[in-house]
Structure 1
Amino acid sequence: MGINFKNLFTSQKNKSKMGDYQNLDHIDGVAISSISANLYNNSRDDLVMFYFRDGANHASVYTQSKIISENIKWNLSIKNEKVFSLLVNTRNANAFTGLKGFQSMQKLAELVSLGLTEKQKEDDNNPFEITSDQILFGCTGTIGEPYPFEKIKKKLPELFDQIKYTQNKYIWTKAALGIMTTDTKPKLAMAECNIGSSRVKIYGVAKGSGMIQPNMATTLCYIFTDAKISNDILKKLLVKNISNTFNAISCDGDTSTNDMVAIFSTNKATNQKINSISDKKILEFDENLNQVLLDLAKRVVADGEGASKFVTINVNNCSTESDAKKIGFSIANSPLVKTAIAGEDPNWGRIIMAIGKSGIDLDLSKLSVKFGEHKIIINGKLNDKYEENDVKEYMKNYAIDIHVGISTGKKKFTTYTMDLTKKYIEINADYRS
């Protein structure tokens, strides 16, 4: 699959920097293979394997939907401290496929474990015998269609053969492209930081464009680090940092059956053992993990189906963070707000409507609303100096910032969303065509 780097690394949105990509290079302990299994009936990459040659510690958070995909059911059954592979397919969600869908995961896990065990024997002096319960899966695509087990099975030998032990920007980008569905661009992010005196890397890839509304996790996102961190600490770090990153975005208010955010540590770095999430040595890693997750989460919103605007909603001075979050998502998920933004209409009345329907108690005499630096509502009343033409001009920007002040406390929350355009309807009306 060819990659046009000129197009990929140049912003496709007016003033967006979401088209900029960092230089992900090699990370010890991670190998990648990305191929076409013809799941789209064409030659685009649609099957991606992340292979951990010496195993990796891991932690995941999953959708809280009451209907979950068969691959998530499989992943939840895995209790091993280390896993050796994550296999991700696109085009098919393996959701609402019943026993056959789950059995496909069982059979694939067995085939992958056997194939990687042979790969170990070929490439390593001290090979591991990999078992089926050391394999994880990610699936994304259409719900309810039979899982394409035979197509994927047929391509496993090529997938093993194409494993690349040394990574570079091209290989990471190819993998990020291989897990996309309606996305228009791959999503990658990275950071480097210290744990104590040891330098470590944090790399991440994600996919997501539609069916995006967080509930514990959203979309598919995979984080890789060479840090030496236990499963327990990884899980605590992941849960902590999901809150204001992947749980702070919404494209269309819909939570997928397949949502998954996972982190894998290869233990190749020489950092000292971390015994607690409150260990000061982990502070810089914690901050950088949040940075990578937030970067990827914002890229999902910026690439939302049909999006022409990137919207940040800052809700401040609430009694609780929960109240601020409810107001933020009430605004973010309002079709009336989103269409007004798409039309570059400073219809602040729709913001007022969304605040009111959130159900949060407020003192109207203390309410404030700003679009960017333009003060619209002050102390519950329209600003005497409000000039709609100035705000109309502001609404032409790609990035729109909405600020809401409640003045009932000191808690705040920031939500990220997109506008709602005719293109969103076209994409989803033709999704299976």
Structure 2
Amino acid sequence: MKDGPVSPLAPARFPDLPAIAGLEAAIGRAGFYKHERPDLLLMRMPAGTRAAGVFTTNAVGSAPTDWCKQVLAATRGSARGLLVNAGCANSFTGDAGDAACKRAVTEASAAIGIEPREMLAASTGVIGVVLDDSKITSALLHMKLDAVSWPKAAAAIMTTDTFAKGAGATCEIDGVKVNIAGIAKGSGMIAPNMATMLAFVFTDAALSAPILKTLLRQETETSFNAITVDGDRSTNDCVLLYATGQAKVPPIADAKDDRLAGFRQALSDVLRDLAIQIVRDGEGATKLVAVNVEGAQSDASAKIIARTICESPLVKTAIAGEDANWGRIVMAIGRADQPVRKDMIAVRFGELYAARDGMVSAEYDEAAMSAYMKRDELEITVTVGPGSGRARMYTCDLTKRYVEINGDYRS
């Protein structure tokens, strides 16, 4: 995080998150930033913890994402440690980056008394710089595990974020109370599959790695894969879900088990909350925008159209200028290269119709539309045909501040 104003869309305060039994954390400063700030997070879970992950589809990837994939595959989801550094992505760094990641993981696992193969890792920051793991080794000497301070943990993983992000929920599985808590970072280089973002979610439920993996993949689609700030997919994105097993849930063998309905909804709520907070902190953002697409040939087609609208620089700059330029939205619908019925296209801002049945709406009111566009949170809904396909995505506006932030990112 660089010094500067907090996003005008930031929540009023960091939420109160439930404690996760068996979870410990330590915060440190390895010095990956010129200014003094925490940039290292180390966490330990009890024996028997299970984990799952969803990772970026960026073809370049990074040393820590490669490490996590290998560990989760080799151990079948048995993991009880997490090491996160901010300030250096350790991506596009070749064999040297892989070796640095392995050394850092080895040192961190030794510091908390677990095996390297039980440790997952994540990095965020500048691409193309090999991780200086000696800084992590030195920082670990001054770090001590304790009860988790969620605000401090969330702050330690920030880069250009202007506020720390957290979300939590409590639910029941077959009559047993379970807690869910998560933190995330992200502000720019945000796009679906995944979105530069990291998210770490923890529950005390006793659930298997296959169930965690299934639930995480499904619920990520309507959360982290339904947001975009600038259309750029990072090399380091990941969402990790840990289950410490301290809440003794009766055995469940299938992710489709009805007893998981409450947990699934709670997990979905936490992931979506974290994802929307990332959009609220979009670099330079002043507007949070939800885009709904209805009447598409399929849900997949609707999502492509929604993403095209969300990522159009012309749409996003019009929103920044509080201009309800619905023609730009129609343009984006058409260039999504999806089946649409031109004579059925409708565009609505909130409850105000700008277009209906393929032309400007008879009730179009420029003054009412201008007043609506001054809001901090906007809802745009488009109808594109007679189909049943629907999608909802979140984005933000594109302002001069975005250019300033990314123009001097490395300086």
CA contact (8 A) 2:26 2:41 kept: yes
CA contact (8 A) 2:27 2:156 kept: yes
Q: What is the match of residue 95 of structure 1?
A: 91
CA contact (8 A) 1:24 1:172 kept: yes
Equivalent residue for 1:163, pick from 130, 139, 145: 145
SS at match of 1:267: strand
Letter in 1 for 2:117: D
Equivalent residue for 1:214, pick from 171, 192, 205: 192
Q: Distance in 2 between matches of 1:371 and 1:57?
A: 44
Q: What is the match of residue 301 of structure 1?
A: 279
Q: What is the match of residue 370 of structure 2?
A: 392
SS at match of 1:68: coil
- Unpaired runs of 5+ residues, structure 1, are 2-6, 118-129
2:53 aligned with 1:57: no
Letter in 1 for 2:108: V
Instruction: Tell me by how many angstroms 1:100 deviates.
Output: 1.0
CA contact (8 A) 1:188 1:206 kept: yes
SS at match of 1:53: coil
Letter in 2 for 1:186: A
Letter in 2 for 1:430: D
User: Normalised by the size of structure 1, how large is the TM-score?
Assistant: 0.91
- The answer to which of 305-314 and 40-49 deviates more is 40-49
Instruction: Tell me by how many angstroms 1:38 deviates.
Output: 1.4
Q: What is the match of residue 301 of structure 2?
A: 323
CA contact (8 A) 1:63 1:218 kept: no
Identity of aligned residues (%): 40
The 5 A counterparts of 1:28-427 are 28-78=21-71, 79-80=74-75, 81-117=77-113, 130-159=114-143, 162-164=144-146, 166-167=147-148, 171-216=149-194, 219-427=197-405
Letter in 1 for 2:130: P
Residue deviations 1:283-334 (CA, integer Å, cap 9, x gap): 1100110000000000000000000000000101212001110110110000
Instruction: Tell me by how many angstroms 1:21 deviates.
Output: 3.0
SS at match of 1:376: strand
Q: Distance in 1 between matches of 2:102 and 2:342?
A: 57
Instruction: Tell me by how many angstroms 1:217 deviates.
Output: 5.6
User: Normalised by the size of structure 2, how large is the TM-score?
Assistant: 0.96
RMSD of Structure 2 on Structure 1 (CA): 1.5
Instruction: Tell me by how many angstroms 1:55 deviates.
Output: 4.7
Letter in 1 for 2:57: Q
Instruction: Tell me by how many angstroms 1:29 deviates.
Output: 1.2
CA contact (8 A) 1:217 1:261 kept: no
Letter in 1 for 2:78: K
- The answer to which of 68-77 and 87-96 deviates more is 68-77
Q: What is the match of residue 121 of structure 1?
A: none
- The answer to which of 288-297 and 17-26 deviates more is 17-26
Instruction: Tell me by how many angstroms 1:403 deviates.
Output: 0.4
In structure 2, the CA distance between the partners of 1:57 and 1:217, relative to structure 1 (3 Å rule), is: farther
CA contact (8 A) 1:61 1:217 kept: no
Q: Distance in 2 between matches of 1:398 and 1:192?
A: 29
CA contact (8 A) 2:109 2:115 kept: yes
CA contact (8 A) 1:372 1:403 kept: yes
Instruction: Tell me by how many angstroms 1:72 deviates.
Output: 1.0
CA contact (8 A) 2:83 2:105 kept: no
How many residue pairs match? The answer is 405
CA contact (8 A) 1:31 1:53 kept: no
